[in-house]
Structure 1
Amino acid sequence: FSLQEHVEEHLDHGAALNPAGSPGSDLKLAKRLQTEEEQRRRQEEGQQEREEFKKLQRQFGLDSSGGYCRQMERSMEKAVARGLMAPAEFHSKRAEMMESVASRVDDGRTRTQGVVTALNKYYQTECRDCVHVWLSADTDHYCSSAGDKGWGCGFRNFQMLLSSLHRTDTYAPILPEKAVPNITQMQSMIEGAWKEGLDPQGASHFNHRLQGTRAWIGATEIFTLLTSLGISARIIDFHQPTGPGDTHPRLFDWVKQYFTQSNRSSRLPPRLIHTQLPPLYLQHQGHSRSIVGLEQKKNGSLCLLLLDPGSSVSDTRKLLSRETVSTAVRHIRKFPGSLKHKQYQVVAVQGVLSAEEKQNSIMTSRTLCAERIP
């Protein structure tokens, strides 16, 4: 039943009552109906916009439903309700959690150490169909916990990156804290970076607040954190597929260039190269992972080695055991056919910033732009 039909019905009704017709009153009626329709449409659009906004707030953890501590508490409350945890244990664990959060340092419960060292050992004797294997500097794996499940992947990948930087001679001396921060402390660090003037657009998006929220962070927040620590970084944006079947071969080629940067000599590189390069932060819509290595097969095909914060401690520890490592490596291998999201972003660490360079980075972050490939 369209507006036009509605108007015509009223006009017909008016004509029947007043055969002589009154063009002025007919026009007024049509205008009034049109105004009513416009008002109704605006109200519906406004309601839809409000609902969409609330949905986005929930999706990005900005709906005031509490952050890490509240989510951890809820998880423990559910365990008590199901009889899986005694009330006394709940109070004890809650006190431990609050103490851990106050310390600002990660408690290590979701950390698995020695992962890249174990991969180095594995490739020395296994995977003979690889012509070359490149590995990042030693990196610990951090997985999500009950407190950040569903939104903490960006923070966990930053912990992985920091664990590697702490072990690297180039970066360790400039990092103020020698321990890896916990999630609430990383949220505070990003807020501090915004106060320094970094990424004002991002700060505005999050309303200048991360603490007490379940907000996801992405490539720009990782860049912001690194810059605030005096570390030079770049964001590379693979904004569209570059191969058949929505694949991203240009991403794989770029990762190979990254890992081969330290071996530019004409000599044939050895089969296994354990570099001192930090891992790469890899972002796509809704999730992020860390690239800790690359395989090149005899046929020339490339395969990324990815550590995923979604993998549990027990699954990750399978990389450390000789009995389970072969199966575990299969889970971290990703060929081009496995990476089919429309867009990927990589954050790469590339050196230390001088005080002047840091100030320049803060200034240029006002219009933060990624390098687009292609």
Structure 2
Amino acid sequence: MSGLLTNVHETAGIAKGSGKTYLVSGQYEYYHYLCDGFDDRGWGCGYRTLQTVCSWLTDNQNSDVKVPSIREIQEILVQLEDKPKGFLGSRQWIGSFEVCLVIDKLYDIPCKILHVNQGDELQTLVDTLVLHFQKFGSPVMMGGDVDASSKGIVGIHVDNRGASLLVVDPHYVGKEQTKEFLFNKGWVKWQRLSDFISGSFYNLCLPQVKAKEKN
């Protein structure tokens, strides 16, 4: 283990009000800017979200694959010829597509990409996300263009007013704090679909792991 906080969404609890909540199943670590001493502020959010997803895969899929560093992620993308050699050591962002490539390479697990042309269309993905957390329980990576901030999604709440996503934000900079601190400061939060940027497209990467066993 890396010593990072685990399951930081737990303080967020169940979204207020009526409806149903579907959450990640199993343990993950919270990767964020500078968490390992490497300064990726301003460009590393996609890498950090990928590392969070990888920590879940390593812990919940009985895998001996270590969570890759940012350098190792770049090396994989160059090896796969998705990126040129000049990508190594750069500060270029990565998005959901690159995350899918790395997960498939390291864990031999395929991913589903969900795409909407604008934030207003996120509502069309609600049923798919509910099914994902019910069936697989793995974290989801979300990225966009105008909303260029990559983030982890670890739950969804659905009620008669619509839906909210449980966001784990990798942009936090600082020493490890408590789960309560992260929630109170908004680094972990419930965000209604209507609060996402309407003019941004969004891609979501959903690891298609072995389905959860039913009780």
- TM-score category (smaller protein): 0.7 to 0.9
Query: For 2:53, what is the secondary structure of its paired residue?
Result: helix
Residue of 326, 330, 333 corresponding to 2:190: 333
Comparing both chains, which one has the higher relative contact order based on Cα–Cα distances under 8 Å and sequence gaps of 6 or more? 2
Query: Which residue pairs with 2:213 in the alignment?
Result: none
2:204 is the counterpart of 1:346:
yes
CA distance in 2, matches of 1:346, 1:159: 15
In the TM superposition, what whole-angstrom CA distance separates every residue of 1:292-324 from its partner, at most 9, and x where no partner exists?
011223x3521100111112356x844x34xx5
The one-letter amino acid of 1:162's match is: C
CA distance in 2, matches of 1:211, 1:300: 45
The alignment-based identity, stated in percent, is 21
User: Is the CA contact (8 Å cut-off) linking 2:11 and 2:183 kept in structure 1?
Assistant: no
Deviation at 1:210, TM superposition (A): 2.3
Query: Which residue pairs with 1:269 in the alignment?
Result: none
Q: After superposition, where does 1:10-25 map in structure 2 within 5 Å?
A: none
* Runs (5+) with no aligned partner, structure 1: 1-106, 195-201, 263-275, 353-374
Residue of 227, 230, 250 corresponding to 2:124: 250
User: Is the CA contact (8 Å cut-off) linking 2:110 and 2:208 kept in structure 1?
Assistant: yes
Query: Which residue pairs with 1:278 in the alignment?
Result: 138
Deviation at 1:219, TM superposition (A): 1.6
Query: Which residue pairs with 1:303 in the alignment?
Result: 164
The one-letter amino acid of 1:304's match is: L
2:42 is the counterpart of 1:159:
no
Structure 1 runs, 4 residues or longer, greater than 6 Å off: none
Q: In the comparison of the two structures, how many residue pairs are matched?
A: 202
The one-letter amino acid of 2:130's match is: K
More strand as a share of residues:
2
User: Is the CA contact (8 Å cut-off) linking 2:157 and 2:164 kept in structure 1?
Assistant: yes
CA change 1:253–1:312 in 2 (3 A) is: farther
CA distance in 2, matches of 1:290, 1:186: 17
Q: After superposition, where does 1:22-61 map in structure 2 within 5 Å?
A: none
Deviation at 1:251, TM superposition (A): 3.1
Query: Which residue pairs with 1:292 in the alignment?
Result: 154
Larger Rg over CA atoms: 1
User: Is the CA contact (8 Å cut-off) linking 1:252 and 1:303 kept in structure 2?
Assistant: no
CA distance in 2, matches of 1:330, 1:149: 15
2:116 is the counterpart of 1:238:
yes
The one-letter amino acid of 2:72's match is: Q
CA distance in 2, matches of 1:238, 1:282: 11
Residue of 218, 226, 232 corresponding to 2:103: 226
CA change 1:159–1:130 in 2 (3 A) is: farther
Residue of 25, 32, 55 corresponding to 1:143: 32
Deviation at 1:248, TM superposition (A): 2.7
Deviation at 1:159, TM superposition (A): 0.4
More helix as a share of residues:
1
Deviation at 1:247, TM superposition (A): 5.6
CA distance in 2, matches of 1:233, 1:259: 14
CA change 1:330–1:158 in 2 (3 A) is: closer
Deviation at 1:351, TM superposition (A): 3.1
The one-letter amino acid of 1:258's match is: H
Query: For 1:332, what is the secondary structure of its paired residue?
Result: strand
Deviation at 1:157, TM superposition (A): 0.6
Cα RMSD of the aligned pairs, angstroms, is: 2.8
Deviation at 1:147, TM superposition (A): 1.6
Deviation at 1:325, TM superposition (A): 7.6
Deviation at 1:291, TM superposition (A): 0.3
